[in-house]
Structure 1
């Protein structure tokens, strides 16, 4: 078994698409608009980009849950990045840093960024 998709609630799918492609560097996998819904999924570049990140519009209770998670300071999602250079490239493309890269007691280094669409995202280095 393997995880193939992870859902991320966003308060604006167009803004999320711009942030995750232009700032983080993901690529659009699927952008399908149907009657009353949009399926928007992204992947990391390369032949094995890992699981798809599905950007789902937050509404109602989902929107309230997203706001609670953000207010509590919990990241909604974590990306593993290679090194400080990758972090600095993401920052240079416009990411607003909430927490600078910080060595963690459990191992690795984490930085937190604001994804501009309602979430805190962790950039983790092993």
Structure 2
């Protein structure tokens, strides 16, 4: 049986630039960073999270330039979406959708990384 989602991939043009964005602007941790013959493998994650994001490039075996700058289907959760929006905006993160309470009962916002990969962030309503 599958026990958890271990990692998801996000395709980026430049892994070093992406690493700076995810660690400095989003506050993620580096979970793995290793060099191999012809590739660099980088995984990042929010502090304490189980699932990691692999910062992949088109040079990996399953890589594809068309996967860069797309909707990722990745949603994050926060306890205070307005504070997160303010902090990330101050750090230079570009939001494509400002926080808004949705009819299904969660706060929702969307932002993009340095390559325009789009992510969502939710805040449950108590």
Query: Same fold, TM exceeding 0.5?
Result: yes
1:37 to 36, 39, 53: 39
From the superposition, tell whether residues 61 and 6 of structure 1 become closer, same or farther in structure 2 (CA, over 3 Å): closer
Look up the match of 1:7: 9
**Count of matched residue pairs:** 119
From the superposition, tell whether residues 80 and 95 of structure 1 become closer, same or farther in structure 2 (CA, over 3 Å): same
Aligned mates of 2:73, 2:13 — CA distance in 1? 13
Shift of 1:122: 1.2
**Is the partner of 1:109 in helix, strand or coil?**
strand
Runs of 4+ displaced beyond 6 Å:
none
Deviation digits for residues 20-42 of structure 1, max 9, x if unmatched?
Answer: 10111101111111111111001
Look up the match of 1:123: 121
Shift of 1:118: 3.5
Q: Does 1:108 align with 2:106?
A: yes
Using the size of structure 1 for normalisation, the TM-score is 0.82
Q: CA RMSD in A?
A: 2.0
**Is the partner of 2:64 in helix, strand or coil?**
helix
In 1, are the aligned partners of 2:11 and 2:58 still within 8 Å (CA)?
Answer: yes
From the two aligned structures, give the one with the greater helix fraction.
1
Q: Does 1:53 align with 2:63?
A: no
Unaligned regions of 5+ residues in structure 2, if any?
none
**Is the partner of 2:92 in helix, strand or coil?**
coil
Unaligned regions of 5+ residues in structure 1, if any?
none
